[in-house]
Structure 1
């Protein structure tokens, strides 16, 4: 949620003129400014840029698909004669938006992963990610002829190991216990709100329109 400070962007003379407006006019002014802030926030979402104009940090996975694509639809404006804000209706969307806005790390647990992705099928074939991780750790397979071992291929690992067995071997090779709780870092990806200069321009534009309409 972002609160919009209109009076803080006006000089003393304009503040007095604002206070002279009837409540309905002030409320309409706050609504217009709130919608402009929402529009600017949606524009940053489309451009995938922060309040400072810099591009957002890319996904760690390297995927190119745009982030927070549906967040803009849930952005709502609320306003009264003396206040305005841009916020989200849904609590889940709101939490996701705030986490990205402020770069709040996510605490993940094994139970939470199961709720999101379901119970893994440990009898299924090992995944490509597991096979790559095992190769990186130096996993070897017995040579088909002669004695000794050789580096196993990704295809061979996936064909011969189950998801469950690959996970156990990987933990043993890394000599690490199974994690039940871990933290996923999240870089700051601001979009909600407007800079001081943007709000100043919005407020003064809307204020001038309101005064002219009154005249």
Structure 2
């Protein structure tokens, strides 16, 4: 999947389609643009509520993190194309659109340090080493030179003297591992974009009625 978009025409009832076609092109464009923006609001609210289009809850985040999922994608969702015959919701960034598609389908996502930096999720390698890293280093046999001897440092010494990036590299060397440049993340399917037929028909019907009754 190269990306994710949602064309609001797909779930418009036949009766509404006929009424839409009877409008001038300029009015159809305004109507579809308004409807798409309202459906954008529907999707943002659903993402904040952490629910799929069918009403079920999102698969929980792995680990203990309680931060809500996909909220960044919800905030950047926008009307990407609009005309007298179509309005499309999605992301102008092809990268975000592809990520949304991966989450929507529950595909395996290839992650890299560069991609994490673009998403604002990369570790700060210049920050001090964490206590978790320090414990892992000590467990792997990390030693420091003190005069002519090698000794086991304290956890506090590691946190104070090693940077996050240094600790990661040293640990990889001690464990005989090659530092990965990319890795796969299994994603459970979570609805990032979409709407039920009822939601689309309600929005289109409301906006259409407002358009037909509005002063010319």
The size of the alignment, in residue pairs, is 196
- Paired residue for 2:44, among 18, 42, 45? 42
Native 8 Å contact 2:104 2:189 kept in 1 = yes
Per-residue deviation, 1:180:
5.2
The alignment partner of 2:89 has SS state of strand
Q: What residue is the counterpart of 1:100 in the other structure? A: 103
RMSD of equivalent CA atoms: 4.0
Answer yes or no: is 1:186 the counterpart of 2:191.
no
TM-score (norm 2): 0.67
Q: What residue is the counterpart of 2:145 in the other structure? A: none
Answer yes or no: is 1:198 the counterpart of 2:199.
yes
Unpaired stretches in structure 2, ≥5 consecutive residues: 143-153
TM-score (norm 1): 0.67
Q: Which whole-Å CA distance do the structure 1 matches of 2:93 and 2:187 have between them?
A: 21
Indicate how the Cα distance of structure 1 residues 55 and 125 shifts in structure 2: closer, same or farther if over 3 A, else same. same
- Paired residue for 2:56, among 54, 57, 66? 54
Indicate how the Cα distance of structure 1 residues 20 and 134 shifts in structure 2: closer, same or farther if over 3 A, else same. same
Higher Rg of the two aligned structures: 1
Native 8 Å contact 1:126 1:166 kept in 2 = no
Q: Which whole-Å CA distance do the structure 1 matches of 2:91 and 2:117 have between them?
A: 27
Question: What pairs with 1:89-168 in structure 2 (closer than 5 Å)?
Answer: 89-108=92-111, 117=122, 127-130=130-133, 155=155, 163=167, 164-168=169-173
